[in-house]
């Protein structure tokens, strides 16, 4: 799959085993930035990384902080990195964001390559050019657009995914299939439900999810308009991730975010309850096992107001009028909306009998 961006055309190679491509790509001056868990789980990959300069990335949000970035830059510059050297990221979304952001600002931009190792990064984040780091409590608020020179998505990495990371990747994929529309949703939902217990059939889901994203980012690379619909589930999802101290992984938080957005849309008379229920049915296997708690809601609402998509007093969110009918709107975060959100979490509304909730 090749992707056109303003900076370059880059491609995703789908392979079974990462080693041949990694050995071919790894230049002796390239700096490999590798997820520590992946380094420990894949000794042969670690051995190639260790053939030259490399750094281990702790897969956590603190590693994406402005302060941590300073240490990385200091080490790379002290190590003699030059404009013609490259970074090679091996890991998930965190490793990607750190590496891409670093590559984008060093010498006004150096090349980087990406070996995504979990489902979220293979099915979503690896394309789209976005680079982000956190600034204090402000998640992903520093960043830009700096696509990799090459992406190699190796199936072998997906055999060691913990269940929560599998569910997280499936949740992120589900959001593409909801945004894409009824045909993709109907095709993907049963496959996603099966993949929860048998990740063997992920290949076609990964390719289709990326194809939906590719189509959009080639039209709106810089998220200036149409691409905004991919924020569906994300404003609420980011707030949930934040109040959970990132214990709830991104794609699971986004899955709750979509269901919550749908509940709000039903309440506002924008979405038929039956449509919310249809999407909820498909989301349920991804939500099961996670019990989010927003306490009195104060931290959740503060996080929602901090979201970078907000302009002024209103909260900008993506709501849905049905599958494939997502749109950006200003949601007044007034007492009624806050009550609806509190009730949603306090009543574990996503677990409720679908007939019972369809009247709400
Ligand atoms: N740049 C973008 O377009 C973009 C898009 C979506 C998300 N993100 C960012 O990505 C982050 C979330 O991504 P993530 O969920 O991949 O986080 P992550 O990189 O922390 O990975 C999640 C977990 O998967 C583990 N893992 C990775 N590969 C594995 C493997 N092969 N076997 C076993 N475990 C493995 C990691 O060690 C980690 O514990 C967030 O910071 C989010 O903001 C960026
Ligand atoms: Zn996402």
| 192 pLDDT more than 90 | yes
From residue 216, alpha-carbon distances to 163, 178, 186, 351 in Å are: 29, 14, 20, 33
Position 311 scores a pLDDT of 52
Residue 357 or residue 292, greater confidence: 292
| Confidence band of 306 (pLDDT split at 50, 70, 90) | confident
Q: What is the distance between the alpha carbons of residues 296 and 283, in angstroms, rounded to a whole number?
A: 25
Mean pLDDT over 126-146 rounds to 92
Q: What is the distance between the alpha carbons of residues 92 and 37, in angstroms, rounded to a whole number?
A: 10
Q: What separation in Å is there between the alpha carbon of 353 and the centre of ligand 2?
A: 28
Which of ligand 1's atoms lies nearest the C-alpha of 168?
A: 15
Position 16 scores a pLDDT of 95
Global pTM?
Answer: 0.92
Q: What is the distance between the alpha carbons of residues 265 and 242, in angstroms, rounded to a whole number?
A: 23
Query: Which residues does a 6 A CB cutoff place in the pocket of ligand 1?
Result: 35, 37-38, 41, 59, 61, 64, 91-97, 117-118, 120-121, 124-125, 128, 130, 132, 140, 157, 160-161, 165, 168, 249-250
pLDDT tens string 34-47: 999 999 999 999 99
| Confidence band of 309 (pLDDT split at 50, 70, 90) | low
Position 119 scores a pLDDT of 97
Mutate to test the pocket of ligand 1, among 59, 128, 145 (most ligand atoms within 8 A of CB): 59
Opening angle at CA 172, ends 180 and 98, nearest 5: 125
| Confidence band of 354 (pLDDT split at 50, 70, 90) | low
Look at residue 58 and give its three-state secondary structure: coil
| 355 pLDDT more than 80 | no
Which of ligand 1's atoms lies nearest the C-alpha of 157?
A: 31
pLDDT tens string 232-278: 999 999 999 999 999 999 999 999 999 999 999 999 999 999 999 99
Mutate to test the pocket of ligand 1, among 19, 42, 93 (most ligand atoms within 8 A of CB): 93
Mutate to test the pocket of ligand 1, among 56, 92, 238 (most ligand atoms within 8 A of CB): 92
Mean pLDDT over 101-119 rounds to 97
From residue 57, alpha-carbon distances to 47, 64, 161 in Å are: 16, 10, 17
Ligand nearest to the CA of 121: 1
pLDDT tens string 310-342: 555 588 999 999 999 999 999 988 888 899 999
Nearest CA to ligand 1 atom 42: 93
Position 83 scores a pLDDT of 94
């Amino acid at each position: 799959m090749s992707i056109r961006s303003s900076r370059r055309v880059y491609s995703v190679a789908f392979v079974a085993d990462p080693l041949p491509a990694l050995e071919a790509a790894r230049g002796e001056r390239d700096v490999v930035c590798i997820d520590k868990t992946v380094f420990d789980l894949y000794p042969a990959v670690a051995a190639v990384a260790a053939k030259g300069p490399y750094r281990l990335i702790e897969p956590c949000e603190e590693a994406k902080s402005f302060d941590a970035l300073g240490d990385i830059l200091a080490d790379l510059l002290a190590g003699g990195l030059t404009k013609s050297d490259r970074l090679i990221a091996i890991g998930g979304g965190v490793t990607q964001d750190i590496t891409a952001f670093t590559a984008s600002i060093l010498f006004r931009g150096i090349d980087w390559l990406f070996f995504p190792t979990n489902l979220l990064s293979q099915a979503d984040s690896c394309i789209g050019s976005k680079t982000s780091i956190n600034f204090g409590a402000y998640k992903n608020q520093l960043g830009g657009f700096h696509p990799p020179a090459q992406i190699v998505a190796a199936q072998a990495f997906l055999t060691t995914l913990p269940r929560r990371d599998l569910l997280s990747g499936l949740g992120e994929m589900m959001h593409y299939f909801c945004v894409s529309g009824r045909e993709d949703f109907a095709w993907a939902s049963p496959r996603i439900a099966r993949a929860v217990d048998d990740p063997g059939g992920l290949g076609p889901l990964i390719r289709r999810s990326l194809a939906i994203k590719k189509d959009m980012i080639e039209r709106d690379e810089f998220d200036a308009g149409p691409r905004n619909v991919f924020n569906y589930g994300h404003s609420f999802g980011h707030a949930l991730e934040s109040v959970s101290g990132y214990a709830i992984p991104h794609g699971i938080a986004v899955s709750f975010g979509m269901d919550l957005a749908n509940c709000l849309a039903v309440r506002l008379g924008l979405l038929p309850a039956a449509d919310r229920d249809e999407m909820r049915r498909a989301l349920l296997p991804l939500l099961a096992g996670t019990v989010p708690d927003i306490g009195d809601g104060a931290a959740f609402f503060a996080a929602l107001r901090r979201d970078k998509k907000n302009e002024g007093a209103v909260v900008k969110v993506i709501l849905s009028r049905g599958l494939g009918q997502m749109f950006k709107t200003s949601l007044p975060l007034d007492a009624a909306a806050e009550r609806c959100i509190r009730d949603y979490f306090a009543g574990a509304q996503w677990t409720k009998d679908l007939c019972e909730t369809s009247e709400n």
